[in-house]
Amino acid sequence: MVLLFLCPGVNPVGWSRELAALMPELELRIWPEVGDVTQIDAALVWQPPPGELQRLPGLRLIQCLGMGVDGLLADSTLPPVPVARMFDPGIVTQMAEYVCEAVLYHHRRLADYAALQRERRWQRLPWQDTVRRRVGILGLGEIGAHTARQVQRFGFAVAGWSRSPKVLEYVAGFYGDDTLPAFLQRTDILVCLLPLTPTTRDILGARELALLPAGACVINCARGEHLVEADLLAALDSGHLAGATLDVFRQEPLPPDHPFWTHPKIRVTPHVAGLTHPRTAAPLVVENLRRLQAGEPLLHRVDRVRGY
């Protein structure tokens, strides 16, 4: 089995070590040193240069290094080979950590207290009971379902929105486009954990943000293209929304002159909510290579029409 590591800008050292420990017989080639292209069975990819995968005539698996495959599927040169996305339990944990911190940050008005501290003002702000604060999670997949559980453990009233029905005892389930307005109307802290697909692009625009109750907050750690940035700014500046925590942006890195950097109601992090780590991610890669070898169904195979 020959695997090509085709992840420009990603350090291959940890991957080499973890993959060798789990599958000593695997031959790993690090792009651009591809050798005989006819020998390559599978490619582990992140932002591969367009056209590179087409050069591999024996390719039988494209394993994405990240849990989101929107960038990969947008590549019109992608060969018609099965695509599997990453499932990294480490990312799932990190994403839940990020969201829990952001939910608590907005719930406990820590931005307002930081502003008061800068003015040396000792002032208690109105308090809201946790069980009355309604958190709404868009996307109840691997990350959304776990995150909903962790947020609910603090006592928040949690609802989730998905495409198909879900039965999770700790989440009020909403599914399908028709329920989105009702879901938004009951949500004080909105968390986006959707995959980016043609149907979820721009899903958070002026109309949807207006449906959130006055004083609501938005947390986006899925993809920048879910959110219409100008509409978020308008909703914050009008006073309808109280704040936002954003990890992902339409343009990354966020340009230095972007208004998000300095907006008093926005917190920015540089797409770090969940990062793939070879220690926690390599087992899935090896399991899919083993399945490829045995002719068994791949784990986390992407439906290329659905887009996730």
Binding site for ligand NAP (CB under 6 A): 67-68, 91, 95, 139-144, 161-164, 193-197, 199-200, 221-223, 247-248, 271, 273-274, 308
CA 123/CA 100 separation, integer angstroms: 25
Q: Rounded to the nearest whole angstrom, what is the least distance from the CB of residue 13 to ligand NAP in the complex?
A: 22
Q: Rounded to the nearest whole angstrom, what is the least distance from the CB of residue 88 to ligand NAP in the complex?
A: 8
Contact 223, 70 (CB under 8 A): yes
- Sheet containing 27-30, strands listed edge to edge, beginning at the edge strand earlier in sequence: 27-30, 2-6, 42-45, 61-64, 83-84
Q: Report helix angle 110-118 to 89-107, nearest 10.
A: 60
Query: 85, 146, 223, 226: which is the annotated catalytic residue?
Result: 223
Q: Rounded to the nearest whole angstrom, what is the least distance from the CB of residue 151 to ligand NAP in the complex?
A: 14
Beta bridge partners of 245: 219, 267
Query: 60, 108, 201, 271: which is the annotated catalytic residue?
Result: 271
CA 148/CA 24 separation, integer angstroms: 38
Closer residue to ligand NAP, CB minimum distance, 36 or 178: 178
Indicate the DSSP class of residue 42: E
Q: Rounded to the nearest whole angstrom, what is the least distance from the CB of residue 139 to ligand NAP in the complex?
A: 3
Closer residue to ligand NAP, CB minimum distance, 187 or 197: 197
Q: Rounded to the nearest whole angstrom, what is the least distance from the CB of residue 152 to ligand NAP in the complex?
A: 16
Structure tokens given for 102: 């952001």
Closer residue to ligand NAP, CB minimum distance, 4 or 197: 197
Closer residue to ligand NAP, CB minimum distance, 28 or 225: 225
CA 161/CA 163 separation, integer angstroms: 7
To the query of whether residue 223 is one of the catalytic residues in this protein, the response is: yes
Q: Report helix angle 278-294 to 89-107, nearest 10.
A: 140
202: left (phi over 0), alpha (psi -120 to 50) or beta: left
Active site residue ranges: 223, 271
